[in-house]
């Protein structure tokens, strides 16, 4: 018993020292920074192998594959060095993406320090790491606001466990757009929740919300619908304050976000539209149909194309050449994403099968791509087990069914509905923001899942549904934080959200409830 008492006293003393010198947010940021340092910048270096997509972002940004045996390492080994074009670069951008901004900034840093012939991807990893540590700091700052010491440091430890998982961090040493998605989604969510809590300057948080939303929307073409969801929520900020300048800025931001979403979709290159359409049919419709020939009849396509069931666009020995005139005119031109969506709506059995496939992959933070360099001596495709506890726990514990996804959304919305209703009744818009922001995250994740399966079938689902995995973790983590800090329904929910916001003041002036 005395031993337990001494242990408890030591724990309390440690917590007291932490509270005096290190806040929960700082602790979480330092913990994630340490994991990043160990995994990404200390041998053996951890990153992600190329799945064949790197060329989309490399050549147009002045980089090229400079290893003679590069193709033999695709999928299995992480490569950290690439060549830098020395003279004229004739390659134009294959797609427009905000990821280009980070690649070029990293390249500029490399050249600034004298490395102008060879690019080390760890420079980009360092840039992403700095941004990510800041995002984790803001997230934990928001989630631990008004928390007790025990709850605050407990949540900080949980944040390190979840958001310091290698399933997330390995992306930073790669040229995949998921790195940008992860970082910007954390900033977006944190900025919105800090606005709800009124912790920082509203103008700064409004800018942070808008900037992260724009970068997120334009990072990948499949995020265009998510930009619409975020833009609609941004409209609520217009009514959060009375000042004309704030309302004007918030209104302009909402309009820009909505236009950005539309523009992102409009700028998708035809080549990538065809690749996704091909997979949507061969890896989606045809694989889920009981009778592939009947499914093709729905789209007015000749039944001979049923031989493409399960095929991928990059298969060099496909039954029908993917770039042939016959393929374009008799297959790809016969359907589009709206018609595929209509097919699933009118064929619930096929829709159920494809969404079950999506749900099965939606809770995976990791792909099957290798994490080690070939020089590390690991087998082809080997993945690190270090700092992957959350990834394994999530894959083992999550039910991985579409029913669970729906149940999760309903339960979360139900938990926050009472406080939302009370805030609306008291005409306090700021306190009513919490539920719309959470719904924004859940709908964005669900939209990412739907776009993935409708737009590309089951091709590379673990990567395509990455946004859902992050949204699920953020919303679940926040809900646990609200429960731990007693902010869900109790009096803290009102006290913590800044009850003096303009909506409440307006209600008081008009004789409403404070």
pLDDT at 65 over 80: yes
Give the tens place of pLDDT for each residue, 247-259: 999 999 999 999 9
**In a shared domain, residues 241 and 278:** no
Identify the pLDDT of residue 465.
85
**In a shared domain, residues 274 and 264:** no
In a domain, 167, yes or no: yes
pLDDT confidence tier of residue 19, bands split at 50, 70 and 90: low
Give the tens place of pLDDT for each residue, 265-282: 877 766 677 888 888 898
**In a shared domain, residues 20 and 66:** yes
CA angle 301, 305, 311 (to 5 degrees): 130
Give the tens place of pLDDT for each residue, 129-164: 999 999 999 999 999 988 888 899 999 999 999 999
**In a shared domain, residues 127 and 258:** yes
Higher local confidence (pLDDT), 497 or 112: 112
H or E segment at 63? Answer: strand 63-64
pLDDT at 315 over 50: yes
**In a shared domain, residues 79 and 195:** yes
Candidate ranges 80-89, 210-219, 259-268; pick with highest mean pLDDT: 210-219
pLDDT at 460 over 70: no
The token pair that represents 458 in the structure block: 């089951």
Give the tens place of pLDDT for each residue, 440-453: 999 999 998 888 87
Identify the pLDDT of residue 173.
97
Across residues 204-233, what is the average pLDDT?
94
Residue with tokens 């859902």: 468
pLDDT at 493 over 50: no
What is the 3-class SS of 346-358, one letter each residue?
Answer: HCHHHHHHHHHHH
Q: Give the 3-state secondary structure percentages of the chain, helix then strand then coil, rounded to 5.
A: 70, 0, 30
**In a shared domain, residues 279 and 262:** no
**In a shared domain, residues 61 and 183:** yes
Identify the pLDDT of residue 504.
44
**In a shared domain, residues 287 and 223:** no
Residue with tokens 């959304």: 409
Parent domain of 319: 270-336
**In a shared domain, residues 215 and 285:** no
Across residues 233-237, what is the average pLDDT?
95
Judged by average pLDDT, the poorest of 290-304, 397-411, 458-472 is 458-472
pLDDT at 76 over 70: yes
Identify the pLDDT of residue 457.
67
Number of domains in the chain: 2
Residue 157: helix, strand or coil by DSSP? Answer: helix
pLDDT confidence tier of residue 78, bands split at 50, 70 and 90: very high
- Domain end (from 295, 314, 336): 336
Distance CA 297, CA 469 (A): 35
Judged by average pLDDT, the poorest of 24-33, 102-111, 387-396, 490-499 is 490-499
């Amino acid at each position: 018993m005395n031993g337990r008492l001494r242990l408890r006293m030591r724990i309390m003393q440690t917590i007291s020292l932490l509270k005096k010198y290190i806040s929960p947010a700082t602790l979480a940021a330092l913990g994630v920074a340490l994991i990043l340092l160990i995994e990404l910048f200390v041998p053996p270096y951890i990153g992600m192998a190329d799945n064949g997509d790197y060329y989309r972002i490399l050549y147009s940004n002045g980089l090229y594959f400079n290893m003679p045996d590069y193709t033999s390492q695709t999928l299995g080994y992480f490569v950290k060095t690439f060549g830098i074009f020395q003279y004229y670069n004739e390659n134009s951008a294959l797609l427009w993406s905000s990821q280009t901004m980070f690649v070029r900034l990293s390249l500029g840093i490399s050249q600034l320090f004298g490395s102008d012939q060879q690019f080390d991807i760890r420079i980009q990893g360092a840039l992403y790491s700095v941004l990510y540590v800041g995002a984790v700091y803001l997230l934990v700052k928001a989630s631990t606001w008004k928390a007790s010491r025990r709850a605050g440091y407990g949540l900080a430890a949980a944040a390190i466990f979840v958001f310091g998982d290698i399933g997330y961090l390995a992306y930073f040493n790669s040229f995949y757009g998921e790195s940008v998605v992860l970082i910007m989604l954390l900033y977006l969510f944190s900025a919105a929740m800090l606005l709800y809590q009124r912790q920082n300057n509203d103008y700064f948080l409004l800018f942070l919300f808008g900037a992260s939303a724009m970068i997120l929307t334009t990072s990948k073409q499949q995020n265009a619908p998510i930009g619409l969801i975020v833009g609609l929520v941004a409209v609520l900020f217009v009514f959060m304050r009375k000042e004309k300048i704030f309302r004007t800025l918030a209104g302009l931001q909402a309009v820009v976000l909505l236009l950005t979403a539309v523009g992102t979709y409009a700028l998708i290159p035809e080549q990538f539209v065809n690749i996704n359409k091909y997979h949507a049919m061969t890896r989606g419709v045809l694989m889920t149909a009981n009778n592939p020939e009947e499914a093709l009849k729905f789209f007015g396509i000749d039944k001979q194309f049923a031989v493409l069931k399960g095929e991928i666009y990059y298969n060099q020995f496909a039954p029908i050449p993917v770039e042939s005139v016959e393929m374009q005119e008799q297959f790809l031109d016969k359907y589009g994403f709206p018609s595929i969506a209509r097919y699933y709506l009118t064929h619930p059995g096929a829709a159920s099968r494809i969404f079950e496939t999506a749900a099965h992959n939606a809770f995976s933070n990791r792909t099957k791509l290798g994490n080690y360099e070939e020089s590390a001596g690991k087998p082809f495709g080997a993945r690190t087990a270090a700092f992957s506890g959350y990834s394994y726990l999530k894959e083992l514990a999550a039910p991985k069914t579409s029913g669970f996804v729906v149940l999760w959304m309903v339960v979360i919305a139900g938990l926050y509905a009472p406080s939302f209703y009370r805030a609306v009744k008291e005409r306090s818009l700021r306190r009513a923001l919490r539920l719309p922001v959470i719904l924004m995250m859940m709908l964005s994740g669900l939209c990412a899942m739907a776009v993935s399966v409708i737009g590309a079938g089951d091709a590379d689902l673990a990567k395509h549904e990455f946004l859902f995995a992050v949204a699920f973790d953020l919303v679940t983590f926040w809900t646990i934080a609200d429960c731990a800090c007693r902010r869900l329904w109790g009096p803290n929910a009102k006290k913590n959200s800044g009850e003096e916001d303009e909506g409440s003041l307006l209600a008081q002036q008009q004789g409403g409830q404070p």
